[in-house]
Structure 1
Amino acid sequence: MTDELARRIDELMPRAKVDLAELVAIPSVADPRQYPPEKCREAAEWVAAAFTEAGLRDVHLEETPDGSHAVVGHRPPPPGAPTVLLYSHYDVQPPLDGPAWTSPPFELTERDGRWYGRGAADCKGNIVMHLTALRALGESVPVGLKLVVEGSEEQGTGGLEAYVPPHAGELHADALLICDTGNAAVGVPTATTSLRGVVYVVLAVEALKGDVHSGMFGGPAPDALAALIRILDSLRDADGGTRINGLDCEGSWSGVGYDEGTFRTDAGVLDGARLTGSGTVADRLWARPAVTVIGIDCPPVVGSVPAVPATARARISLRVPPGTDARAAQDALVAHLEAAAPWGVRVSVERESAGAPFKAETGGPAYAALDKAMQEVYGKPMSFLGQGGSIPLCNVLATTFPEAEIVLMGVEEPRCRIHAPNESVDPEEIRNMAHVEALFLRHFAASR
């Protein structure tokens, strides 16, 4: 039966490529300042039509509290069978640096055995994975299905997170397949079990009533930009590792590791540049807080004048591992920044969002069924992976459906370069993970 299922998926791969090409061609960037909002609706309608054709019922668009549209639908379970929710998102990141793309971002292009285009992996490739698995099963889907494909995940505006609790009865399922992650590497079957949370703050430094001439006042006059640099430098130790007073920065990771050489290649680290921090790469990525200065307001080089800056600002993100409370981490970051101010300069810290980390429970029948499916397809047992990124929806789902198993999986892997120019997907990952999903549905049904 598995061989027959694999044959069906092989036959469906040309259609999967056509599906992905059509979806990638729709610039569904959920930011009306950059792209027409009707493109997101066009993508949502494409998704609704495709899942209707794949056998789901009452597939339609639901407006969520942030104004985006989620595609929802269902398929009733056979008598006594469990229900599985399938999740993905159709909105994508903007292309960002257009000239850096080797091929047009909204045109699926095959090159060196991979399919390139914005959203090819994140997350339209996962939509196509779902469709391919369901088409391969045809009328023999052994479980009930719920479908949610959202339209504002990349913008982080929380539409679906707000939609879920009041619609819990419509979305309830025994297992939730959150398909917005992927394998540790091509050919390495993996479930993501840990997500770091993230908090943001904006630090402002004031040192003078206004900019003053550096020739007349430079030296004694406190420099706001220099003070900002000192404060930011205090967030790291000599090795570059995150060090924030009152925050545990020494966690360890027990799942699959991340080879340092592979990480350097995946991250594009320049020759001669050392990785920051200590411990294993996996420790630093998935088990410890990680601070990043993601923006600075200061005089630009072009057009700069010989003046001592009176003010400067920085926006700071802090990734938070499971086991650490996000709000407590934000409190520690704020206190550290305030205490690190040099020379009596004034500092103020604006608190922005705080998203909690997530850790999956892996001892239930859904994970056993997934491990069995992955071993049949890949010939090796499932590994557990952490992710540095955050998916706030997971905590909402865990709170709303405390008895459900939450599984994060998908077609994304490090070479996909999601969110970056030249995003791509390996079609073999679509093929294999569609096969895994179809087998998982069979094995999960048999476990009840």
Structure 2
Amino acid sequence: MKKINKLVFIFSFILNISMLFAQETKKLTIDEAIEMGIKNSKNLKIDAAKISQSTADLLEAKNRQLPDFKLSASYLRLGNANINLEFLNQNSGNSTPVPNSVLLGQANLSLPLYAGGKIKYGIESAKYLVEASKLKSENNRLLIAYNISEAYNNLFKAKQGIKILEENLSVSEKRDATFLKLEKNGLLARNDRLKANIQTSNIELQILEAKNNYAIANINMNLLLGLDENTILDIDENYIDESMELSFADYYWNAALENRKDMQALDMQRKAAALGSKAAKAENLPTIALTGGYIAADVPKILTVYNAVNIGVGINYDLGNLWKKNSSLMKSEAVENELSATNELLSDQVKLDVNKAYQNVVFAKEKTLVFEKISTQSTENYTVVKKKFDNGLATITELLEADAAKIISEINIINAKADATLTYKKLLQSSGILIK
């Protein structure tokens, strides 16, 4: 039985070692993460497909100004055709021959000369829609960059939390060992020693929770970056030391007006809709085209036609438009009104986003200063209580409470600094300048 347990242990050890080596560790800065996430984003691949669709629509609109040229040929077998060419019969007195086949060939050319502006407006509108799709993609790049920043921030906080807790766990375990010796020598009550053990166990539980959060954050980050989900990410510990130079609030609003791609995309859509209304009005106008053609026919024993070339001008005008309501124009004007209202709504939303993000940065900075003060006070308080405890002037409960407050303040200051960095990136994203 012992041999079996020993073999199981050896097998488990080898398996764990192999899994450890199988996991790749990758060092990653925040800028590298953003670049990699944008490169591998599935959403941006969808955007690229939409841009291709818009480009194809533009090509289709341009094709409408080019001539149409069609060729057709037919060969027909005839049954007992009844053909009466009276002018031949009157002159010859003979009956008309009966053909058994017909060969017909045609070539038709049509070049639009005037279409009321529909072709011109259609091309210009399609150009605006191509630009709109590109701008939407650029706006999504900003959103992706912020989402990656948020995931990176969560990964950083989880890792730093584990580091702080493990350092305090080591201190707590040494304290437990000391208290155990004191209990054995009759210098410490058993329930006091157990209180310290409970705090150690609570730290272990916090570490387990922090490691679970880290594992989830690591998997989420790998998926965002297009990496293998088992890749261990080694993030930059100086991430929270990045410079946060805060300008006046108006600077970020003006930056948003100049750089927000979603606002620019909506402007392109509005221009396209305005051209759509002009194109709809043009439906009430006639269309003029230059036409040309060639016809060849061969009906054995009856008729042969070659080099029948024709050229002319064709005019098409639907008189029904005089009494029919232009539904296309009504729809297009409704789209214009919708986009106009959407533009006002988006402008208000952007203004709110920028101002909210700005206030959050100011708040985060002030909050960080308070947490730094609390951390300093908690560390000093623990030092004082520890000295008093060593001299028998403080209870173990007071010592453990001071220790717990110190641990919490250490975690809070790290989280506050990380969140302040993230709120600054949110401000840059809201202003359209997160990616230079």
Which has the larger share of strand?
1
Query: Between Structure 1 and Structure 2, which shows a larger proportion of helix residues?
Result: 2
Q: Which structure would you say has the larger Rg?
A: 2
Instruction: Please indicate, yes or no, whether the TM-score normalized by the shorter chain is above 0.5.
Output: no
- Normalised-by-shorter TM-score class: under 0.3
TM-score, scaled relative to structure 2: 0.23
The alignment's TM-score, normalised by the length of structure 1, stands at 0.23
